[in-house]
């Protein structure tokens, strides 16, 4: 299984980016897919997840600014990021499969990460 993330880059505060993560090796149409991020010196943190049924969860810090979506036909998950802030600067990792325990998403597979840098 491989998760290939793309779409990161450098953007000014207030700008937008759209991340994509294409999965290969198996289909995830009935599984969780999601995004995490890790800022320098910080622990990796949950950003958003989406289940095949349409159930979506967001971290409080990104709710209302980020939108997660998926295209099961393409085995791909997306993260539309609007109104970006310098605090959103991090390496963003896509994730797939696994499950949710006590409200926390524990992925089984991880992508390689894509850098998002937001300048002030």
Per-residue pLDDT tens digits for 16-65? 999 999 999 988 888 899 999 999 999 999 999 999 887 899 999 999 99
Core vs surface per residue 66-77: b (16+ CB within 10 A) or e = bbbebeeeebbb
Predicted confidence (pLDDT) per residue in 53-81, tens digit: 878 999 999 999 999 999 989 999 999 99
> In DSSP terms, which residues pair with 36 in a beta bridge?
46, 93
Within the chain, what is the greatest distance between any pair of CA atoms? 40
Question: Which one is predicted more confidently, 11 or 102?
Answer: 11
Mean pLDDT of 94-112: 91
Report how far Cα 49 is from the mean position of its chain's Cα atoms: 7
Return the pLDDT at 101: 86
Report the pLDDT averaged over residues 98-107.
Answer: 88
Q: For residue 111, is pLDDT > 90?
A: yes
Q: How confident is the model at residue 87 (pLDDT cuts 50, 70, 90)?
A: very high
């Amino acid at each position: 299984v491989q998760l290939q993330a793309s779409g990161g880059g450098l953007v000014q505060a207030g700008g937008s980016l759209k991340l994509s993560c294409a999965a290969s090796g198996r289909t995830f149409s009935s599984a969780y897919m999601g995004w995490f991020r890790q800022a320098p010196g910080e622990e990796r943190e949950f950003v958003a997840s989406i289940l095949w049924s349409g159930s979506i969860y967001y971290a409080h810090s990104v709710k209302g600014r980020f939108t997660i979506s998926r295209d099961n036909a393409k085995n791909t998950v997306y993260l539309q990021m609007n109104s970006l802030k310098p605090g959103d600067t991090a390496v963003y990792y896509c994730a797939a499969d696994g499950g949710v325990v006590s409200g926390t998403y524990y992925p089984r597979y991880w992508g390689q990460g894509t850098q998002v840098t937001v300048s002030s």
